Amino acid sequence: MRMNRWFWLMLLLGSLTVPSFAQTAASKPQSDDKTATVKDKLPTDDPNYVIGPDDEVIVTVWKEPDISRTVPVRPDGKISLPLLNDVQAGGLTPMQLTAEITARLAKFISAPQVTVIVSRVTPQRIFVTGEVARAGAYPLTPTMTILEAVSIAGGLTPFAKQSKIYVLRTENGKQSRIPVNYKEVLNGHKPEQNVVLKSGDTVVVP
């Protein structure tokens, strides 16, 4: 009999404790998932960040709401703005793009005050095409070189012309071609040709 009383007493105490615990848990501050998501998408604060294709930038012109807007960077590296039409953004830092837009707007607006913020950063990539085992796009890692890019692409095929490899690079709206003698670089004869790649570079293996 005493055991039954003890059992029912413990059961009663347990039923009173559960709601209290649930209320405490409910009142406990929850992490702000929205804030965490926004934080993950904050613009880069690196002043040396080079804007690339598929990034997104916020262009703000003080007292000019019709010009201010958020625009994507097109695959050709350009953005479109009222009055200015196409503006080269790829290959520039936010400060350089700010200076470019400011200079061009000065033809239409007196002393324009421009701010450029990179609101979305697309993972940087390089491309390897031609006579390699796995041509395609690859994530750009810091200080990645041509030798590393070719290695990641599975190496050269037997038909590759090792002395005629080159890198296509677009900067400030202009495309340049950097020749590479892969065989000499591999043998250590011309290490300066094992250039460090930049976002958007294309390694072409004829």
| Per-position DSSP letters for 92-131, written without gaps between them | --HHHHHHHHHHHHTTTSSS--EEEEEEE-PPPEEEEEES
User: Residue 54: what pLDDT?
Assistant: 85
Helices of type H across 28-88: 33-40
Ordered domains of the chain (ranges, CATH): 44-120 (3.30.1950.10), 125-205 (3.10.560.10)
CA separation for the pair 72, 69 (Å, rounded)? 10
> Which pLDDT band, with edges at 50, 70 and 90, does 11 fall under?
low
> Which pLDDT band, with edges at 50, 70 and 90, does 200 fall under?
confident
- Averaged confidence pLDDT in the chain: 82
Compute φ and ψ for 179, nearest 5 degrees.
-75, 145
pLDDT of 29 higher than 70: no
Burial class (CB in 10 A: 0-12, 13-18, 19+), 84: middle
User: Residue 172: what pLDDT?
Assistant: 67
Summarize pLDDT for 141-173 with one digit per residue, the tens. 889 999 999 999 999 999 999 999 999 998 766
